[in-house]
Amino acid sequence: MRIAINGMGRIGRLLFRRLMREESFDLVAVNDIMDPENLAYLLKYDSLYGANPDAVFYRDGFIQTNGKKIAALRANDPSAINWRELKVDIVLECSGKFSDKAGATKHLQAGAKKVLLSTTGSPDIPLMIYGFNHHRFNEDANIISPGGCMTNCATHVLYILNSIGIESAQINILHSYTSRQELVDTAHKQFRRGRAAAESIIPVEIDLAHSLERLMPLQNKVAAVSVRVPVTNGAMADFTVQLKEQRTKNEINALFEKAARNEYKGILDYTEDPLVSADIKGNTHSCVIDGILTSVVGRQVKVIAWFDNEYGYTSRMIDWLRFWGGD
């Protein structure tokens, strides 16, 4: 399967690293407007995951590493790329700029056979969460959204709790700061996002509740906020859920522990280790339930889940590539 990546930010670069070690895929091209020498440098050195053990350099139009040559393109718009000539099967759309159907379709018009977004995307694109509804995949669909890292965490947690019956849910995602925030105070249309990310705990607006309502019958039952905290990686999802029936802490934990061992194996994990956010770096699960922190008051349940917002999420994108490729 021949793969291309459009947009070499955090997710695009991590996918590059990981695909280099996946024998089933042939990464043939990357596209980003940054200087390719700078891109090679960022592919070699990463502040979160450390230096790439393989040499990475740019030469004569290609990023070269581990004996492979990957075409380095610098197009502003997919319409200017000839994916057909490169025989690209799937474009990983990681720029965040072409996440509606019209934008993603440009990759198809340029010759790619399929497009996998790295975000939730617009409502006219199928929202398919790996491990939840990917088995309902329509083979005729050529543009898919695998959701975002928060949706991949929350969907599984709420689906399992809804087997008991949810009356309402409040979700607070404590999340590392991202490139959509600022290093120092500056102007931003969302005033709080303009504040210095490494200096404050910063609430930000998210569309998680809307995504969850698209996936399961929880209309007008879910609210969500994300609070960005001054760490560079990792997230902790705090679910406060009002159930229809009263259950004990042990019953709640048993639901998640059973799921982690069976149908959700590899997607959801369960632990009773006293984790902190640094412990989750490099974890491949969409969420890790912290059984120690589960608590129950009457019919109100609090569940805490950890996830690596980059590594866990790219793991699901790679799962989608394997699924699309028939592995």
Tell me which residues are annotated as active site: 149
DSSP labels, 7-46 = --SHHHHHHHHHHTT-TT-EEEEEE-SS-HHHHHHHHH--
Query: Which amino acid is residue 96, in one-letter code?
Result: G
CA distance 143 to 124: 10
CA distance 52 to 253: 38
The two three-digit tokens of residue 267, written as one number = 């997607």
The two three-digit tokens of residue 48, written as one number = 């979160």
Query: 160 with 256: CB under 8 angstroms?
Result: yes
Query: 43 with 65: CB under 8 angstroms?
Result: yes
236 backbone dihedrals φ, ψ, rounded to 5°: -130, 115
Strand 143-144 with 56-59, pairing: unpaired
